[in-house]
């Protein structure tokens, strides 16, 4: 597995007739580690080349809308109205978690506790130093330095930012009233901010900036050996980012009542990590090349069966029920010259 700082993967086919097929995708950096792993393994088994550019959800939406790639990837799901307008279908591929990561002298992974309100106040610039009373009150056992806080955020259009700000919007009234939710927002001027490109860029800036805090998908925190924090759950318990707390959040997903699979998973009840999200694939309903469209679906169908790779990287595989729903979406939605692409 390559470092999380790699922002694209090109798995070159080296044998067989299938080497003539190249599948191009672009978008979210949040799932890049698992998409890279799946692409690598799929090439070994089939010889088919998967070219995925991790450019951010905003870029992925723009590229699939312009039809410059075969599929787009986004962590900020489109609404059914947006999908219908562009003639696209959307389906969830895997679920993961967003974690705050810090570079504070003397603080190791899992030692610091944060609430959603305090996290938002840090990003608002209301809290400017690590020994601020609001942070100290949550961490009486820690020796917090009088160190300025450097707030690291995404500089590109980002589904990770969308889900992060959607959570802050729920838990902090000032954030909701002044900033809101978006893939690309205007960051508060009161905070000392640093913009990073992709999850990898945020991880890199936190890693090399003393006093920094950022937000990344959990796999990037682990791969870059960053100090993640505990977070207060919706029910008031402090949780560690673990597969168990991620799965607890995912278990609340009501896909049956999510038109176009538009569903957000933040701030779920129970023993649930408060910033959990699904990541989605976008394809045009009308496909110019039915044979190639089938090959693209073959890759995604195969990927759904490779849940052990997802779990190894701390992602949550989609449940079989959802995979079956997606299969029906492919059958009903993908057409080529008026004929169904997927018939099996």
CA geometry: angle at 271 spanning 265 and 274, to 5°? 35
Q: How many CB atoms lie within 10 A of CB 182?
A: 16
Same domain, 149 and 161: yes
**Which domain range does residue 115 map to?**
98-248
Domain endpoint, select from 248, 277, 302? 248
Contact 207, 93 (CB under 8 A): no
Highest mean pLDDT among 7-16, 176-185, 333-342: 176-185
What is the Cα–Cα distance from 258 to 80, expressed in whole angstroms? Answer: 9
Domain endpoint, select from 228, 248, 268? 248
Same domain, 20 and 90: yes
Same domain, 91 and 103: no
Domain endpoint, select from 226, 248, 270? 248
The answer as to whether 136 is a domain residue is yes
What is the Cα–Cα distance from 122 to 190, expressed in whole angstroms? Answer: 10
CA geometry: angle at 27 spanning 22 and 31, to 5°? 95
Q: What is the pTM of this model?
A: 0.91
Q: Is the pLDDT of residue 4 over 80?
A: no
Strand, helix or coil for residue 222: helix
The answer as to whether 2 is a domain residue is no
What is the Cα–Cα distance from 254 to 256, expressed in whole angstroms? Answer: 6
Confidence of residue 20 (pLDDT cuts 50, 70, 90): low
For 210-231, the pLDDT digits (tens) are 999 999 999 999 999 999 999 9
Same domain, 304 and 286: yes
What is the Cα–Cα distance from 104 to 166, expressed in whole angstroms? Answer: 26
Q: Is the pLDDT of residue 174 over 80?
A: yes
Same domain, 108 and 227: yes
Same domain, 157 and 228: yes
Same domain, 26 and 85: yes
Q: How many CB atoms lie within 10 A of CB 125?
A: 16
Q: Is the pLDDT of residue 15 over 80?
A: no
Same domain, 85 and 102: no
Same domain, 240 and 105: yes
The answer as to whether 3 is a domain residue is no
CATH number at residue 61: 3.40.190.10
Domain count, the chain: 2
What is the Cα–Cα distance from 180 to 244, expressed in whole angstroms? Answer: 29
Q: What average pLDDT does this structure show over 51-57?
A: 97
What is the Cα–Cα distance from 83 to 179, expressed in whole angstroms? Answer: 26
């Amino acid at each position: 597995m390559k470092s999380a700082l790699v922002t694209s993967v090109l798995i070159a086919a080296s044998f067989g007739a299938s080497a003539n097929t190249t599948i191009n995708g672009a978008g979210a950096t949040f799932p890049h580690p698992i998409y890279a792993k799946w692409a690598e393994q799929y090439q070994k088994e089939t010889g088919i080349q998967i070219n995925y550019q991790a450019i951010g959800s905003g870029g992925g939406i723009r590229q699939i809308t312009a039809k410059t790639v075969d599929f787009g990837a986004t962590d900020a799901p489109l609404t059914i109205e947006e999908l219908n307008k562009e003639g696209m279908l959307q389906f969830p591929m895997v679920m993961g978690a967003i974690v705050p990561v810090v570079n504070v002298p003397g603080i190791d992974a899992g030692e610091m506790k944060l609430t959603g309100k305090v996290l938002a106040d840090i990003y608002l610039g209301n809290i400017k130093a690590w020994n601020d009373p609001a942070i100290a009150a949550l961490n009486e056992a820690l020796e917090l330095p009088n160190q300025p806080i450097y707030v690291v955020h995404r500089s590109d259009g980002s589904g990770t930012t969308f889900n992060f700000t959607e959570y802050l919007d729920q838990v902090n009234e000032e954030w909701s009233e002044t900033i809101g939710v978006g893939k690309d927002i205007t960051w508060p001027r009161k905070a000392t901010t640093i913009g990073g490109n992709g999850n990898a860029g945020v991880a890199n800036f936190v890693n090399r900036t003393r006093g920094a805090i950022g937000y990344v998908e959990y796999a990037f925190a682990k791969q870059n050996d960053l100090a993640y924090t505990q977070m207060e759950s919706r029910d008031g318990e402090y949780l560690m980012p673990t597969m168990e707390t991620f799965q607890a959040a995912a278990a609340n997903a009501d896909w049956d009542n999510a038109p176009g699979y538009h569903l957000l998973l933040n701030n779920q009840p129970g023993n649930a990590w408060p910033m959990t999200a699904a990541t989605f694939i976008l394809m045009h309903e009308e496909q110019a090349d039915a044979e190639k469209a089938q090959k693209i679906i073959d890759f995604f169908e195969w990927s759904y069966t490779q849940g052990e790779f997802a779990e190894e990287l701390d992602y949550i595989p989609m449940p079989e029920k959802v995979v079956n729903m997606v299969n029906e979406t492919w059958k009903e939605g993908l057409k080529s010259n008026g004929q169904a692409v997927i018939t099996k």
